[in-house]
Homo-oligomer: A and B are copies of this chain.
Amino acid sequence: MTIGSFYPPQRTLMGPGPSDIYPQVLQALSRPTIGHLDPLFIGMMDELKQLLQYAFQTQNTFTIAVSAPGSAGMEACFVNLVEPGDKVIVCRNGVFGDRMRENVERCGGVAVMVDNNWGEPVDPTLVAQTLESHPDAKIVAFVHAETSTGALSDAQAIAKLAREHDCLTIVDAVTSLGGVPLLVDEWQLDAVYSGSQKCLSCVPGLSPLTFSEKAVAKIQRRQVPVQSWFLDQSLVLGYWSGEGKRSYHHTAPVNSLYALHEALVLLQNEGLENAWKRHKDAHLELREGLEQLGIEFVVDEAHRLPQLNAVYIPDGIDDAEVRKTLLERYNLEIGAGLGALAGKAWRIGLMGYAARSENVALCLRALETTLK
């Protein structure tokens, strides 16, 4: 049997990611591949580092993109920073906090959980109490913007508590980077990872990552080698260093990095504040329309992510049937619920290039017609 070329349809992507990709990013993606040690490619990587520093609002020298998806970015933080026996306070208010626990345990660390209900932000008071009762904790890990629920946590407050107890922070910024304020240096966050396919509107497969000097120092003090060769950041740093001589580690995903460079150039040209405002504006438009349809949000207004709107499926509505109609009739993708919210909620993404009035209008009209 002979298999032919694959021609995907043109969807509008308003799920939890991948988000709609900027046309310019798809163009950049298909530019001619050059060698990963070509001087012109190395120059591009140096620019990419600067663009990532801008996006993260950091001066951290260690600011790169992991050559794999966000879940590998998460793992890069844990395998490098957690040593066997290290106690890590892990905040869990959705799927990704639990994945952090898995990571801690697979590194031989001890996870102490701080639990909040799905849809709620992490409660800093609980974090403070847990730090008090575990004075030997080394790290506090939490999700800034929970993709499974749409809740935004107060990264600045949690990081301040962690510092007061001499703990480093590991922060999941997969869905927050580019969509809401994330100020790595001002908030003194130590290890922050993200994904290319959310509010940056780049193709999936890369994980932006930044480590503070304190995080790098902990890695350098390690007694036990990092359990992953691929994610050992002491090796990767030699590859990303702009100091002329570049040591070979792995073959960079050349074309995907072109795409990330282009997405970050677009973010730089728009300006971070404008991008945050655009996400907020699109969210307010969507909220108004959803409220008119009688649809309710999972998360309290004060902690709602503009770029990820988790809403309850109205009573008597067939979840899968609605999403199928949206996809097949309107070429519109919205996200299903995940984990505790599976079958109970939809997740409507307004990420990056998707955060535009035309998408909000399409989504509201298509939902209204389908729900009738």
Q: Which residues of A contact B (CB under 8 A)?
A: 1-11, 13, 15, 17-18, 20-21, 24, 26-41, 44, 47, 50-51, 67-72, 74-75, 79, 99, 102-103, 105-107, 195, 197, 203-205, 225-230, 248-256, 258, 261-262, 265, 268-269, 327, 333, 336, 338
Neighbouring B residues of A28 by C-beta, 8 Å: 5-6
Lowest 5 CB-CB distances: which A-B pairs, in order? A205-B253, A30-B30, A68-B68, A71-B250, A26-B30
B8 touches A204 (CB 8 A): no
B9 touches A40 (CB 8 A): yes
A204 touches B70 (CB 8 A): no
* Copies of this chain present: 2
A6-B258, A72-B68 given as contacts; is B228 within 8 A of A228 (CB)?
Answer: yes
A3 touches B50 (CB 8 A): yes
Question: Shortest Cβ distance from A248 into chain B, in angstroms?
Answer: 7
- Taking A72-B250, A203-B255 as known contacts, 19 extra A-B pairs with beta carbons closer than 8 A to each other, sorted by chain A number, are A2-B268, A3-B50, A4-B265, A6-B31, A8-B40, A18-B33, A18-B35, A21-B32, A26-B30, A27-B30, A36-B204, A68-B230, A69-B230, A72-B230, A75-B229, A79-B228, A195-B251, A203-B256, A227-B227
A2-B268, A11-B38 given as contacts; is B230 within 8 A of A18 (CB)?
Answer: no
B251 touches A70 (CB 8 A): yes
Docked pose: A10 CA to B103 CA in angstroms? 42
Docked pose: A197 CA to B67 CA in angstroms? 14
B30 touches A11 (CB 8 A): no
- Select from chain B the residue with minimum beta-carbon distance to A338: B248
CB<8 Å pairs between A and B, sample of 22: A3-B50, A6-B28, A8-B33, A11-B34, A11-B38, A13-B33, A17-B251, A18-B35, A18-B36, A20-B33, A21-B33, A26-B30, A35-B333, A67-B72, A68-B68, A68-B72, A70-B251, A75-B230, A106-B228, A106-B229, A195-B251, A228-B228
- Select from chain B the residue with minimum beta-carbon distance to A10: B32
Question: Shortest Cβ distance from A8 into chain B, in angstroms?
Answer: 5
Question: Shortest Cβ distance from A327 into chain B, in angstroms?
Answer: 7
Docked pose: A44 CA to B228 CA in angstroms? 31
Docked pose: A68 CA to B66 CA in angstroms? 9
Question: Shortest Cβ distance from A40 into chain B, in angstroms?
Answer: 6
> Which of A2, A20, A68, A333 has the most chain B CB within a 10 Å cutoff?
A68
Docked pose: A59 CA to B159 CA in angstroms? 51
Neighbouring B residues of A1 by C-beta, 8 Å: 50
A6 touches B67 (CB 8 A): no
B254 touches A204 (CB 8 A): yes
Neighbouring B residues of A254 by C-beta, 8 Å: 18, 203-205
Question: Shortest Cβ distance from A108 into chain B, in angstroms?
Answer: 8
B4 touches A32 (CB 8 A): no
Q: Which of B26, B30, B103, B197 contacts A229 (CB 8 A)?
A: B103
A253 touches B34 (CB 8 A): no
Docked pose: A105 CA to B67 CA in angstroms? 23
Docked pose: A197 CA to B50 CA in angstroms? 27
Neighbouring B residues of A4 by C-beta, 8 Å: 265
- Select from chain B the residue with minimum beta-carbon distance to A266: B5
Neighbouring B residues of A106 by C-beta, 8 Å: 225-229
Question: Shortest Cβ distance from A276 into chain B, in angstroms?
Answer: 20
